[in-house]
Structure formats: structure tokens, C-alpha cells
Structure 1
Amino acid sequence: MHDEPIMDVAHLGHLELLTPKPEASLRFFVDVMGMTESGRRGDSVYLRGWDDYERYSLKLTASQTSGLGHAAFRARSPQALERRVNALKGSGYEVGWHEGELGHGPAYQFRDPDGHLIELYYETEWYQAPPALRPALKNQAQRFPARGINVRRLDHFNCLAVDVKQNREFFQHFLGFRPTELIVLNDGTEAGMWLTATNKSYDFAYTREAHGVKGRFHHITYALDSREDILRAADIFLENGVFIETGPHKHAVQQTFFLYVYEPGGNRVEVASAGARLVLAPDWKPIIWTEEERKKGQAWGMKTIESFHTHGTPPLQHTATKMAKDRLGPLRDA
């Protein structure tokens, strides 16, 4: 007899990114990414894609370093939130309730086994566009900005983890996420996981941290409508002097059409078109990618560049980067 699936998490709500260059990072997200400012409080600016239904999907916070402040998921109901809080209590991972945040109600915070700060909330503020940003079609959150890349919505994020399997089991057990794809090396080590709470193929991913350092961040991803939009984004990044790390190209895992850059604060940012891949099967079996398959590179054969396995935020000292070359092993050509 199978356990009933836990469906208490509705979707990824927002991320908080830390930046040591707040003004430059803000200009990047507003002018280049085409996001809209929807609030300010203290050292933070709140930003949104034009079709995010909540008030914001990005909290950009001035800090001495870069990295992830926290990731937030919305629960399906007040009762669902209460169930997940009760499940987490006594686990050793709980932090506690956090209240008074702009744009949403009380949030229960906890840390995953790698130390990343996560929160779960239900009450939220739906975005109300001011007259100048009101769309012609009422089923759209905001008028198309026609500025820069015009990212539509928050899609997913990727964290680095020292122990991918331990984190996967944590999110499955306590929050009910389903794994859709995994990378498993020849020695049985899990090197990557893609998890979902929805019919999307994934809401977030964790991949192996090469330096043995916990709590690091890989990237945030905003969705565009088509591959052509990704190609156009590459030209817009070029025109704005933004360093393109890799792409445009197509991932083998999840088949996402991708383009990666670094924003001024050092955080990796992806714009992606995931296409029509949905996981509709309630009994989906995770796709397992082997070491040999990942060595073939991306979908069309492009090798994954080494910085994809070594660059994360907050940054490490140069000695740590050197250490990574000896520890990457089988993943270096993935």
C-alpha cells in the first residue's frame, strides 16, 4: 500500500538574493531583465516579472557578499501550512515563525541539511497594477514592460549542496516534493536532483558542491516564452556589456533551453524557455542520468564549462577554487 502523496506546497514564491553592489544589481534587474520595482523596505528592493501574480518574486538585499538570503514557497492553504509546520517541528531543522515581511503573511522558516534558509507561507498580496501598468487583458498580471529582456515570471532556482541525497530526502519527507530527474554517479553518489511540487517538471534543483562548503547558491531562473526570446536575450546582454557564461543551448536534463549570465553582484542568473514539458503522471518515475551519459555534455553535445561546477555564491577564496579541480572528478565533463 502506497502512502498518499503530500501536496501541501503550491509553488515557488520568491527568492531573496544578496548583493554587494545593490545599485548596479538593481539596474541590471530593472533595465536589462525588464523587471518592475514593486516596493522598498530597509536595504531591500522588491521586484517582479510582468506576469508574476504575487507582488514580487525577487527580494534584492544589499549585503557585504552575494548569495541566497532565503527561498520561499507558498502553501496550498492555511491547513497545508499548519501540517508542514507540525511536520518540521522537532526535526532539528526549524528556525521559527517570521512575520512582518512585505507582501505576504506569517512565514515559517527552516534550514535544509545544507544550511540554506527556506520559508513556507500562505497569506499573500496579489499584485495590483497601477493605472500606467494595467494590462489590456484582465487575465494578465501587468502590462508587458517592453524593456530589456522582459522576463515573464520566476521559474526555478538551483542551490549547491555537499550531500545532494540528504537534501532530496529532506524535501521529499518534510515538504512532499517529487523528484523528476536525478544524476547518479557510478559509485552511487547523487550529484544532482530536480524536484517539483506542481505539474512543472521542476521548481528547483540541487547539484553537488565541489568544495565541500555548505549553504552556497548556483542560480535563479526567470522564464521567457520561446527559444527566440532566449536568442534575443543574448543580444540584449551583449549590448549591455553583461558577461555570458554559457549558452544559448539546450540542457539534456529537463530539456530547458538556457542562457546563463552573472549579475553585477556576482550571482548567476538564467533566462530559460522550458517548452511544453509537464509532469502530469501522478506515479512519475524519476529519470536517472548516469555518469557516462552526463559526460556527453548538453543535449546537442556542447560540454558543460568548468565554471558551471565551480562558480557559486557567496564566492570562495582562490585556494578553494584550486581545491575544486581535484575534487570535481566525474562531474567535470558533465
Structure 2
Amino acid sequence: MGHAGDMNLRLLAVAAATSLALAACSSSSDPAEKPAPGASKGTAKPLVEVSPLTGKAMKKGRPDNPVFVVKIENTDGGAPQYGLDHADMVIEELVEGGLTRLAAFYYSSLPSKVGHVRSLRTSDIGIAGPVGGQIVASGGASGAYRKVEKAGIRVFSEDGGAPGFSSDPLKVRPYNRLIDLKTVNRKAKRTRIPGPYLPWAPASGAKAAAPKAGAATTPAPKKATAATVRFSDFTTTSWALKGGKWVRTNGHAEAGKDFKADTMIVLSCRVGDAGYTDPAGNPVPETVFEGRGEARVFHGDEVTSVTWVKSGLKKGLRFETADGKPYRINPGHVFLELVPKDGGGVTLG
């Protein structure tokens, strides 16, 4: 594939009698899974790569495009949100005024209509960096652009003349910008993906390595079928478990086409000052998406408390249980909520 780091995304498909075994290396702190017992040179099938964003095998091979990270408005003004049902992963982040914005990741599918597209933030370095994501935004402060580009992240911005932008005739600026990712991809180059975004569990259908009930230092998972994620006094995101998927109940997506999460993860993050204000004079926050903090993993009706660890802005996430053991995420579509450590939180229902 041309880059040694891309080997981090591969898995070995063994004979039909043997389940798929991951060979996806992430970092020195998250070693590769060993091939399943019984795999041999005579029984192995061709290598199949694993999606860095879902942990699932890419049976048709790697897409001929980079990972695009589209910044999407997340208020009534930008409703409806288009294209979320085609995203591989979604992250909600804090912006100025106590509001939030979405960063939707597209790799396996490139929709011709995504939006409504808004501006980037310096927080996006830590969000897009782990998979070499290329950011699609309608604009942004000059200082934010410089920091993002200095970090080595490519930006396709309408302000910078990027192709594929159009106007929604039913909306007004700045809430009317749409993007055709197929058009953007004609100007993009497939880039190196350092490794998986999350530490994926084996794709054999087994559950993630949840802590055992009754363990002395690790609490058992709690039960929940609803949750309220609080970002500020002005913004909360409500969730419900429906048909085995976690879905937003107060989201702004096009009817019937919201992102459906196999796993929803709430991460408590430190929030700093980006160093500039928006046109209304509001200080712009910067989510520090590195270090470590508390996290809750929602999968099915179980909620597991773990610690998230991210050793650098461009590093992938890993998780630890209370007794220091690795915790892996079931392959599938994941929604990450980056809530402020101070002032944010989650309530189970």
C-alpha cells in the first residue's frame, strides 16, 4: 500500500472454520491481535483490511479516497442535517456560546449532499488527526486555519476555493452551505492512515472486553435505555436505545436519516481557550482531545465506566478499566460526545 503505517489497518481472514482475527496494530501501548489458533500458510485467505472508523472488514478493499471530516451545523438554524446516515463515525464538539457542532467522518461512502457545512475549529486537529482526516469546512478564523494547516491537516474550505460547495435555496447564510464529497474527492489525494481510531474488539461477534461483575476494583456495567448528554446550559443531546441502536431524540437530521450508533461514548474532556473570539465577541473554546479522562461506553443497554487515553492529538483512542486492563470497542458505527470536564456531564435514563 506504500506506507508502513497502513499495515495497522489490516486483518487476516483465515479458513471458513476459523473466525476473522484482527491484525490491526495501533500503537506500542495497543499491540496487535494474534492470528486465530489453527491459522497456517496453507489455510490463510488473502489479507482484508479493517476500516479505521468502524473496525469492520473492508471486503471490497480500501476506498480510493481519504477520510473526509465534514463540519456540520448542529442547531435549528442548520436543520435539517443531510448525509449523517452515510457517515462512518460522528463526533459532537463544543463551540462558542455553549453550542455544539458535529464532525462527521466519511470513508466508506461519499455522499453527494452533506450539510449544512460550517467552519472549522482548532479542536479539529485532535478530532481529524488520528486517521489523517481531511477537513471540509465553509470557513473559519484565520488563526484557526493556520494552526490546523501547521498540524499537517489538509482543509477543503469554501473560503479557499474548494470545489463541491453549493447553496441550499431554502436556507440563508451561513446555514445554507452543502457539499458534494464526490466532487471534493477529485481534488483530494488518498493519504496515509496511521491506524484505527478506536481499539476494536475482534470482529467475530464477541462482546468487548467489559469488566467482570463483582470485580473488586472495577464496577459492573449499569443498565440504561436513555441518556442526556450536557454540554452547557444551552445545549444537551438526548439519546434513546431503539432497535439496538443509540439514536438522538432531539437531533436535527433529515427525517429518518440520522446517524444510528451501535456504540455511543461520552468522554469528559478538558476545554481551553482557542485564543480568539467569534464575530459576536464570544470566546472560542478549544477541546483538548489528548491526555486522559473519564468515559462511559453505551452499547446495547449496558453502560460501562472506563478511562480514555489519547497520547497525542494525532493518536488514536484507547480505553482502560478501573483495574488498568485494556477495554475494546465492538466494531460498528460509533458516536463520540466530547463533553466539557467542567460544566458537562451525562445522566442515565
Q: TM-score, normalised by structure 1?
A: 0.26
Q: Greater RCO between the two (CA within 8 Å, min separation 6)? A: 2
Q: TM-score, normalised by structure 2?
A: 0.25
